[in-house]
Structure 1
């Protein structure tokens, strides 16, 4: 469930849209099979979140030869993944799939995709997962209507049981681990957050809260600096706020630079490649040099010219740019792969609402 800004108004709109449209018989159906070797050691997992409330989340796999395989979780394990796949993380030989509306973490072997365990104790509306040592840390909204019950769940990776909670403010989303700390972006759940929490991993306690602009939805770390992109409140809230990009010194948590976007512009999906930041705005891709650190007036490239309809997932990795196109939220989506010059290299049909990419190599 990663509709824009995660807000209740658009959430309800999409829910009603699904109720009307998800029975459509005219959507394209991609081929579903598994590699003959059953080996997923070299390639890219694409997480398809599926329609909220429909339990049709799935995982696709793009192998090194450019062959796409869909529904690999259900084909390998003969069962459905669950309702609304949010994100995934790797640790050791395992992959941990965060299934939001099912309130589970599905643990599989990352190379065979064989199911190992389901984590459900002390998990309520999970969002993202990171790892350190033998622990996993999972952001949870709890009850989205309760602003005081949000937390990070501390998962014991040996027992696959949650052993503790770290209370945080409303709407914890993406997580980064750096220098013994967890940085938590608070988009706000059904509200609108505007802080980054700094959690000490040893004591599992809050060290600091860094104020940013409304709706922080992307973070990267480079050379001791945390870069945060905040989308700002959208116009439909009737309280629209400006989007901003922050550069924060992690030695003292001080904001050293802030770039402000024009009114009405709401960027998201911050990514990093070498000395450049990439982000998405109005279905176009933009880039910023870390050395110049100035907003570009023009897009780097516009994937809509290649048929991208709804840029929903975005990743930059090893010299390529990966775009997930959710189409109309009910038809099967597509993934587009570009080089760093913005030239289209590959396009593949996947399943409903592709949202993220995970590299197994």
Structure 2
């Protein structure tokens, strides 16, 4: 799989996923609850990507009564989700689960989790999905041995089939849609990207490319501006570069301002909540006001005291901060939920390699 070596502070080039055994023999015991059916409309989905090559990706659900249900996709549909679940996108009543190494999009009803369709045609190493009207836009890395075949697939949401492909630069990752334009961050795939492609949603044509710093790992629209967090190249590359946070004018698609992190500091993730941008450095959580737009000197809190081992997923919503711990990338992971001041509210086990959170309400 063409897995990015720059993802989330690079996480040891994901080496641990490739070198450890991917069997379930050494997994910590967790209680398997009977998955509920037809009651997923209020709660939190945790996507567990699973071990590479093991086809043990899964989805956990936390309901509003704090009950945890594991393996809900397989529990409802009586089949496995696939190999390396990358992300989920919501559009109306449907959830679109992007399964990277299986090169599939699993489409389910977001409230019952019953399968609607599985899309495989013209999908190769998919990463993330966003929606506009009757279309879904999916970033694809293509063949990992070909740096020129990366693209954005255009999914017809009525037929659940890909209609066309939009060629883009190598390593397209996260994407956002704003004012009729699709912004695609190029983290770089096996290499190191430093650009954001701008695509006209209606014509599906590339309009321009915005140069940013190395490894753009987070992209957010807030108050009409585009914010791009670039992690920079890590020390192990022998070509370490500085990290930056960009503010981009979406009317002109030009850089309006940027903040440079100290050398040897490589932030990850980018989340928006109440006019604040949140990111992480190792196990610490930081916040930048989009009003002042200045880098903080200290984190709002640290997670090391709570036993977090490997921060692999991060989300902020309505003052709650969600952190996924991948542990050793072979055992079951763990989820930590904090309030906005860093006080731990909940902590519970999930399944292998939790990587992201999705609130359904």
Task: State the TM-score, normalized to the length of structure 1.
Answer: 0.96
Classify the secondary structure of the residue corresponding to 1:209. Answer: strand
1:59 matched to 2:50 = no
Unaligned runs of 5+ in 1: none
Q: Find the aligned partners of 1:204 and 1:189 in 2 and give their Cα distance.
A: 22
1:93 matched to 2:93 = yes
1:121 matched to 2:110 = no
Q: Find the aligned partners of 1:35 and 1:328 in 2 and give their Cα distance.
A: 26
Alignment of 1:155-234 (within 5 A): 155-234=155-234
Q: What does residue 5 of structure 1 align with?
A: 6
1:269 matched to 2:305 = no
CA contact (8 A) 2:220 2:228 kept: yes
Off by >3 Å, runs of 4+ in structure 1: 1-4, 6-12, 23-26, 34-38
Change (3 A) 1:29 1:4: farther
Q: Find the aligned partners of 1:262 and 1:143 in 2 and give their Cα distance.
A: 35
Which is worse superposed, 212-221 or 297-306? Answer: 297-306
Report the CA distance between 1:17 and its aligned residue. 2.1
Classify the secondary structure of the residue corresponding to 2:118. Answer: strand
Q: Deviations over 1:162-213 (max 9, x none)?
A: 0100110000000101111110000011110000011001100011101000
Classify the secondary structure of the residue corresponding to 1:65. Answer: coil
Which is worse superposed, 303-312 or 208-217? Answer: 303-312
Number of aligned residues: 359
1:46 matched to 2:46 = yes
Tell which has more relative contact order, 1 or 2 (C-alpha 8 A, sep 6+).
2
Q: Find the aligned partners of 2:292 and 2:29 in 1 and give their Cα distance.
A: 45
Change (3 A) 1:260 1:350: same
Change (3 A) 1:333 1:320: same
Report the CA distance between 1:303 and its aligned residue. 1.0
Task: State the TM-score, normalized to the length of structure 2.
Answer: 0.96
Report the CA distance between 1:26 and its aligned residue. 3.9
Unaligned runs of 5+ in 2: none
Q: Find the aligned partners of 2:315 and 2:358 in 1 and give their Cα distance.
A: 9
Q: Deviations over 1:19-61 (max 9, x none)?
A: xx33463431222234545411110110000001110000000
CA contact (8 A) 2:59 2:72 kept: yes
Q: What does residue 350 of structure 1 align with?
A: 350
Report the CA distance between 1:295 and its aligned residue. 1.1
